[in-house]
């Protein structure tokens, strides 16, 4: 039978032919990709923008901000305290990203009330219309072009001094490419499964015709029993008695 899988739009689903990595790895890549997916894409599905995903991504960036600013040393471990840096770029980006995610989430809720919301697992559409002026297929743009642009943006941020923010953007761009490739693989397998279902339906209908054929042929012929012959013999004897002359009849 055809393989049962989640919605082909679910980029965090368990079913994937890419290395057979499981649900946890897929969900991590999908959530990390939200860091760059949300600024690049609009109309992202509501389930991808769930409050749990938004909270996990925001807390993750704030934790990396704390890790980037805290400094330990051997002297500090023996009573010197902990020194903190003054890097604020990642924190500011995290707060701005949180505001954008909340705005998009409430937009999906409003669209849901009006009945015009996109698919809940929709990865969104480009804010910049890259398909209109780039000579590439939508797959290439989603898997390679958009992640490459965000990767270059992260490298540029590192170059100008925003080191941790640049590393976060670079890591998110890699997860973005992986999640888009995963989505493409799932969609392709889903199309193959749909074709298999049609083929299996034809095959099962052929089996039903083969199994019902002998029963139809047997049902078209009358079934002979011993009772039918006995009734015929009784009718013949009654007819013979009626035609024979009665004993002691007229001379």
Predicted pLDDT at 12: 54
Segment 103-138, tens digit of pLDDT: 999 998 998 888 887 877 788 888 888 877 888 888
Of 76, 44, 69, whose CA–CA distance to 57 is shortest? 44
Of 117, 140, 138, 116, whose CA–CA distance to 49 is shortest? 117
Predicted pLDDT at 166: 94
- Choose between 206 and 145: higher pLDDT: 145
Q: How far apart are CA 164 and CA 161, in angstroms?
A: 9
Segment 189-238, tens digit of pLDDT: 877 877 777 777 777 777 787 777 655 444 455 555 555 555 666 667 76
Predicted pLDDT at 225: 53
**171, 174, 180, 182: CA torsion to nearest 10:** -100
Quote the DSSP letter at residue 48: T
Predicted pLDDT at 165: 93
This prediction has a pTM of 0.65
Q: Is the pLDDT of residue 98 over 70?
A: yes
* Averaged pLDDT score across all residues of the chain: 76
């Amino acid at each position: 039978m055809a393989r049962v899988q989640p919605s082909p739009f679910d980029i965090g689903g368990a079913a994937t032919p890419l290395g057979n990595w499981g649900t946890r790895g897929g969900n991590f890549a999908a959530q990390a990709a939200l860091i760059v997916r949300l600024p690049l894409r609009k109309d992202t599905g509501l389930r991808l923008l769930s409050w749990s995903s938004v909270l996990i991504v925001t807390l993750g960036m704030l934790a990396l901000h704390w890790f980037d600013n805290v400094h330990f040393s051997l002297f500090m471990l023996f009573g010197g305290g902990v020194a903190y840096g003054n890097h604020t770029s990642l924190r500011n980006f995290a707060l701005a990203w949180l505001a954008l995610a909340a705005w998009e989430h409430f937009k999906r809720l409003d669209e849901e009330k009006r009945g015009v919301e996109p698919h809940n697992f929709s990865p969104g559409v480009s804010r910049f219309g890259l398909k209109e002026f780039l000579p590439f297929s939508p797959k290439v743009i989603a898997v390679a072009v958009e992640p490459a642009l965000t990767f270059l943006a992260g490298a540029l941020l590192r170059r100008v001094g925003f080191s941790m923010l640049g590393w976060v953007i670079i890591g998110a761009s890699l997860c973005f490419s992986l999640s888009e490739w995963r989505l493409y693989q799932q969609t392709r397998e889903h199309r193959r499964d749909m074709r298999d279902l049609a083929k299996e339906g034809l095959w099962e209908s052929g089996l039903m015709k083969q199994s019902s054929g002998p029963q139809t042929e047997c049902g078209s012929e009358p079934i002979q029993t011993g009772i039918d012959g006995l009734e015929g013999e009784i009718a013949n004897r009654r007819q013979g008695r009626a035609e024979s002359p009665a004993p002691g009849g007229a001379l």
